[in-house]
Structure 1
């Protein structure tokens, strides 16, 4: 499965992308996480349904110092996962 998440709340400037990277990599997921221009965090992850459910649970919990107000989830076409590699942070410097 390939799933897109949009995480809203206080999720920028609090280590949220690093938190997501650590969680997703530990779960063996492929995909990426990045900040959006409007202050949210966007995640695309590919893996088995139970593992994606674990990631979603972590997204709702959030990192220390973050506040998650909403996690909006969309399933993507399986073909979207073909180009995904090891989980990474996009736009990190």
Structure 2
């Protein structure tokens, strides 16, 4: 089964960053910027979602008022979640 993740925005605005071509963010975090390699910006508003294909690096952050998101994954376990930032520990 192909591993996919869907990130619906439930409340607030969510900035989702994925690999690939498209609008490139100019507001990447300064701290640990070398780990934020996915820079294609997708903005999600409440009720919207984006499905991320298998093996696609991604990260997200809340808009200025904060956000609540849900993550649905076809395969969700710690061994499937790979973090490029060594400062993130499970």
Does TM, normalized by the shorter one, top 0.5?
Answer: no
More strand by share: 2
TM-score (norm 2): 0.40
More helix by share: 1
Structure with max Cα Rg: 2
